[in-house]
Structure 1
């Protein structure tokens, strides 16, 4: 939970060219998170973006 009490279990993660991973944002729904990941991916930069739920990680 954040300070407002809202649950934001969906993350957008970015991986750079060196394999470093960063949390871009947290979202209430998978659809919101996927929309943001798609928007960032559409910019054409060589970053990898994906969505995951808190507690679920990509190895």
Structure 2
């Protein structure tokens, strides 16, 4: 059985550039990881649902 990693953790900087940090099976897991990362004053971490067929991070 394969687990689909359909939740992405993304870092977005002040210029609007977005970088995928990782993919996770559940939203809760992605949010847990996001809480461990310290966002600077000019960047944020967001969790988004992605297509299960999207290329891995």
Matched pairs, number: 50
Tell me what 1:17 maps to.
14
Indicate which of 39, 42, 48 corresponds to 2:36: 39
* TM-score (norm: length of structure 2): 0.73
Indicate which of 28, 43, 48 corresponds to 1:52: 48
Structure with higher RCO (Cα < 8 A, 6+ apart): 2
Q: Which consecutive unaligned segments of at least 5 residues does structure 1 have? A: none
Distance in 1, Cα, partners of 2:7 & 2:26: 6
| CA root-mean-square deviation | 1.8
* TM-score (norm: length of structure 1): 0.71
Q: Which consecutive unaligned segments of at least 5 residues does structure 2 have? A: 52-57
